[in-house]
Homo-oligomer: A and B are copies of this chain.
Amino acid sequence: MTTHKGRVVSDLSVSAYGYSAGTGQSEQRPFGDDAGDGWGNRLHSWMFETPELRQAELDRLASVGAFVMGRNMFGPVRGPWDRRWKGWWGDDPPYHAPVFVLTHHARDPQPMEGGTTFHFVTDGIGSALRQAREAAGDRDVSIHGGATTVDQYLAAGLIDVLRLHIVPFTLGAGTRLFDGVPPLDLEQVESRAADSVTHVTYRVLR
C-alpha cells in the first residue's frame, strides 16, 4: 500500500475552447441529450446564482439592438417549416428586439410579444449580419449562437468581442466552439471569477 498523502494534480496550459451543447437535440431537450439534470441547465444556471448576476445578464441583453441565431438555436424543426414553431422561449422571448434566424427555408417574419420579431434569413450569414446591423443602429449586434453559428462568423472575421462563461464540467461530446475555425488571436480584455463560473471577455484580433 502507498503511504502517499499528497494530492494528484495536473497543470495544463490550454487554448480557449469549449463545448456549448450536447448531441441529439429535441423539443424536450434543446441542448441535446443529457447525463442527469441537463447540460443546458448546468451551462446556464450561473445566470441565476444571484440577483446581481441575473440583472447583469438582463442588462447585457438590453444593450443589444439585434440578434442573429442559427436555426437549431431557434428550434428543433428541421427542413421546411411544417410546424408553426415560435422558439423555445414562450410568447414573450427575452430578446425584445429583432432576431435574425439563419435557415435554408423561407418563412414570413414571426412577431412575438414584448418587441421580439423573428426574421428568417435564407441568403447567408453576411446578409443576416447586414440586416441585424441596420436594425441595431448604435447598439451591439449579438451573434447569439449556437456554437456552429458563432464559428461561422468567427471564421469569416465578423465578430469583435467574444465572451465565454466557462462552466465547471466537461461534456464527452457535442457542439464545440472553434471547431473548424482557423487559428485566431484573441486579446483577454477581462476575466472575472464568480462563485462557480469564470467569465472571460476576448477581443478578436484581425
Q: What is the interface of chain A, defined by CB distance below 8 A to chain B?
A: 2-20, 35, 43-44, 46, 60, 64-65, 129-130, 133-134, 136-145, 147, 150, 153-154, 158-172, 176-178, 180-188, 190-193, 195-198, 200, 202
Q: Could you tell me the distance in whole angstroms from the C-beta of A192 to the nearest C-beta in chain B?
A: 7
- Evaluate contact between A191 and B193: CB separation under 8 angstroms: yes
Copies in the complex: 2
- Evaluate contact between A184 and B158: CB separation under 8 angstroms: no
CB pairs A–B below 8 angstroms (13 shown): A8-B160, A9-B141, A9-B161, A10-B145, A11-B142, A11-B165, A12-B163, A16-B169, A166-B166, A188-B196, A188-B197, A192-B193, A198-B198
Contacts A12-B20, A15-B171, A170-B17 hold; do A141 and B185 have CB atoms under 8 A apart?
no
Query: What 10 pairs between A and B have smallest CB-CB spacing?
Result: A14-B18, A4-B133, A191-B193, A168-B186, A17-B17, A6-B140, A13-B43, A191-B198, A10-B143, A2-B133
Tell me the bound Cα distance from A144 to B9 in angstroms. 8
Tell me the bound Cα distance from A59 to B14 in angstroms. 21
| A17 contact set on B, CB distance < 8 A | 14, 17-19, 170, 176
| A197 contact set on B, CB distance < 8 A | 188
Selected contact of A200 from candidates B19, B64, B169, B198, CB within 8 Å:
B198
